[in-house]
């Protein structure tokens, strides 16, 4: 089996109106290769063509020119879907079904026999933490719950290739963390993941490689670590030093003709702070935590 899971050649999409007039050139001559077992991120601001790319890969849209091969098959071939899981931007699920019925329905679309569907649905509902709500109609679900069920639906067929369109959008930091863990878990199981996001921070620590799109054009493509590494800067973070020690370090930098850019008590990222508060609050329920986390 080939190592290339997704391959696009010169893939372009022009949205036209009813009369065939050109409206938007959403994707311009995209050449891309996604390899087996990697987590590939499509990054770019809103409207840069990430969703369009995914829809083209899934056959939801037909390319204006160029072609896309997914798992070695043309994008319009439905049989490729046997091994694909897709999470759309928003979870488009039938609101008149409950979680169990939803998963059972999608399982049937994979021609899965009843006993396997039941087992798989139970596993997934457990995985996404909806056991308490599995008999409730989706119309009563919150956005986050719908999203979780959408994710469960994506994994129903234990896919080889998972496509996640903005998987972290609309999730709280815990949800984001869980999503990232799940993505890493999928990778650990040997699956290939293609995800899109407009927030670099959300995905930088999970993606192996990323492509940055802007206005339908590919701007950057490469490994995340090499893309994010600022080659001629060095950051030092430490604790337990007194004023004299700091002075000494500054001197060392000056002696080697370096320029001290900043030296201060590091701040946590907001995400880290929030996670810490929640962790503490869960460890000591009821206690006020404000102000107790100063350095």
Ligand X SMILES: Nc1ncnc2c1ncn2[C@@H]1O[C@H](COP(=O)(O)OP(=O)(O)O)[C@@H](O)[C@H]1O
Q: Which residues bind other proteins (CB under 8 A)?
A: 15, 55, 58-62, 78-79, 81-82, 84, 86, 88, 90-94, 96-97, 105-106, 108-111, 150, 153, 157
The reply to whether 51 sits near Mg ion by the rule CB under 5 A is yes
Q: Which is nearer to other proteins, 32 or 61 (CB)?
A: 61
Quick one: 45 or 96, whose CB is closer to other proteins?
96
Q: How far is the CB of 26 from Mg ion (least distance, A)?
A: 10
Q: Minimum distance between the CB of residue 15 and ligand X, rounded to whole angstroms?
A: 3
- Mask: binding to ligand X, 47-76, rule CB under 6 A, as x and -? xxxxxx------------------------
The listed partner (ligand X, other proteins, Mg ion, none) that binds 23, CB under 5 to 8 Å by sort, is: ligand X
Q: Which does 274 bind (CB under 5 to 8 A by kind): ligand X, other proteins, Mg ion, none?
A: none
CA distance 198 to 50: 9
88 binds ligand X (CB under 6 A): no
Q: What is the CA radius of gyration of the chain?
A: 23
Measured distance CA(103)–CA(158) in Å, rounded: 13
Give whichever of 26 and 87 is closer to ligand X, judged by the CB atom.
26
| 19 neighbors 89 (Cβ within 8 angstroms) | no
Q: How far is CA 147 from CA 169, 177, 193, 214, 238, in A?
A: 10, 14, 18, 26, 39
- Reference 281, options 174, 127, 152; nearest CA is 174
Q: Of Mg ion, other proteins, ligand X, none, which one sits near residue 48, judging by CB under 5 to 8 A according to partner kind? A: ligand X
Please give the structure tokens belonging to residue 24: 């938007």
Which of 5, 6, 11, 26 is in the footprint of ligand X by CB under 6 A? Answer: 26
DSSP string, 71-134: TTEETT-GGGGGGEEEE-SS----TTSBHHHHHHHHHHHTT--HHHHHHHHHHHHHHTT-GGGT
Identify the H or E element spanning 194.
Answer: strand 192-197
Size of the site for ligand X (CB under 6 A): 12
CB 55 within 8 A of CB 61: yes
Residues that bind Mg ion (CB under 5 A): 51
Query: What residue ranges bind ligand X (CB under 6 A)?
Result: 15, 23-24, 26, 44, 46-52
């Amino acid at each position: 089996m080939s190592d290339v899971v997704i391959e696009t050649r010169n893939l372009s999409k022009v949205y036209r109106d009813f009369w065939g007039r050109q409206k938007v050139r959403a994707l311009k001559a995209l050449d891309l290769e996604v390899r087996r077992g990697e987590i590939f991120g499509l990054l770019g601001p809103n409207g840069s063509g990430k969703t369009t790319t995914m829809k083209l890969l899934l056959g939801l849209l037909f390319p204006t020119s160029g072609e896309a091969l997914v798992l070695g098959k043309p994008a319009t071939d439905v049989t490729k879907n046997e091994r694909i899981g897709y999470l759309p931007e928003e979870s488009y699920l039938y609101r008149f079904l409950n979680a169990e019925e939803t998963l059972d329905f999608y399982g049937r679309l994979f021609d899965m026999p009843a006993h396997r569907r039941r087992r798989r649905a139970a596993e997934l509902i457990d995985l996404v933490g909806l056991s308490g709500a599995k008999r409730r109609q989706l119309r009563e679900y919150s956005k986050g719950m719908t999203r979780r069920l959408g994710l469960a639906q994506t994994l129903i067929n234990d896919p080889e290739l998972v496509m996640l369109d903005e998987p972290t959008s609309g999730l709280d930091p815990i949800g984001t963390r869980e999503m990232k863990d799940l993505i890493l878990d999928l990778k650990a199981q040997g699956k290939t993941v293609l995800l899109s996001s407009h927030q670099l921070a959300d995905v930088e620590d999970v993606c192996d490689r990323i492509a940055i799109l802007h206005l339908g054009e590919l701007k950057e493509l490469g490994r995340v670590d090499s893309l994010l590494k600022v080659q001629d800067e060095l950051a030092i973070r430490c604790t337990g030093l007194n004023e004299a020690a700091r002075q000494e370090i500054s001197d060392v930098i000056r002696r080697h003709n370096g320029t001290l850019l900043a030296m201060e008590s590091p701040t946590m990222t907001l995400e880290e702070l929030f996670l810490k508060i929640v962790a503490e609050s869960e460890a000591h329920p009821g206690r006020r935590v404000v102000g107790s986390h100063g350095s």
